[in-house]
Copies of this chain bind each other. A is one copy, B any other.
Amino acid sequence: MQTPCNKEEGSGMQPSSSSSRRPKGTGRKKIEIKKIENKFSRKVTFTKRRKGLFKKTEKFCQLTDAEIAIIVFSNKGRLFSYGYPSVEHVVNRFLDEQCDDQSDPFSPEEVLEEEEEEEPLVGGGEEGYWFEESIDDLDSDQFEEYLCYLECLRKNLVLRVGELIMRRTSEIDFLKGFGN
């Protein structure tokens, strides 16, 4: 098996040497996939690749209609994110899934040869919780359910994170404005 393009690392193709219409001699080179030590180069690469990554992410979900969230923190603590239908929706679903997993040690439902629904219908119902209401307006049953829901959210963060430590919230959060 021989591929025309070298897999990941490895090289050895000269530009066809002599007669080229554009001997400008610049062009992409192969790079090692390890932390770029030069700070400026790293920033340039961060910018270029972040752009490319987010673009690819968008195309991916447009083509496949998948739900996606991508969250990036630069070295300096700047936040970049993209999500379909929204970062929060996907994060929420992710957390819910974690929550369900732990609530039900065994899966209660069989995975049947599922027909995928054509449209996720995100904009539809999904009232789920009483987001708009005040806690004070809830009766005791609702309040209990509410507590349960919040507790579920909390567990998501806690369970796996446990030893990961709630890192000290930070020295760098406030840098988000500028300073890049």
Contact = CB atoms under 8 A, between A and B. Distances in A.
B89 A161 contact: yes
Contacts of A93: 73, 167
A23 to B, nearest CB: 15
Contacts of A111: 174-175, 177-179
B54 A56 contact: no
Contacts of A79: 94, 97, 179-180
Interface of A: 31, 33-36, 39, 42, 45-46, 49-76, 79-97, 100, 107-109, 111, 113-114, 116-117, 122-126, 128-129, 131, 135, 147, 149-151, 153-154, 156-158, 160-162, 164-170, 172-180
Closest 9 CB pairs of A and B: A150-B150, A80-B179, A128-B166, A81-B179, A46-B64, A81-B180, A86-B164, A67-B73, A75-B116
